[in-house]
A and B are shown apart, each in its own frame.
Chain A
Amino acid sequence: MYDAPTQASKLDQTDIKITANNVQVYYGDTHAIKDVSVDIVDRAVTAFIGPSGCGKSTFLRCLNRMNDTIDICRVEGQIKIDGEDIYDRRIDPVQLRAKVGMVFQKPNPFPKSIYDNVAYGPKIHGMTRNKAELDEVVETALRGAALWDEVKDRLHTPGTGLSGGQQQRLCIARAVATKPEVLLMDEPCSALDPIATAQVEDLIESLKEQFSVVIVTHSMQQAARISQKTAFFHLGNLVEYDDTNTIFTNPSDPRTESYITGRIG
Chain B
Amino acid sequence: MSATTVAAAEQPVTTGSRLAAVLRLNTVDLRGRVGGPWVILAAIFAVNFAIWWAIRVNVDDAGAGTTGAVSALFFIVGSTYLIAMTQVMPFALSLGLTRRHFYGGVSLLLAVETLFHALVLTALLGIERATDGWGIRMDFFSMSFIPEQNVLLQVLTYWGPLLTIGLVFLAVGAVFRRWGQFGVWTVMIGLVLVLGAITFVLTWQNAWPAFGSFFVETPIPVLMFGYPMILAAVAVVGGYLVVRRARV
Partners in one complex: no
A→B interface (CB under 8 Å): none
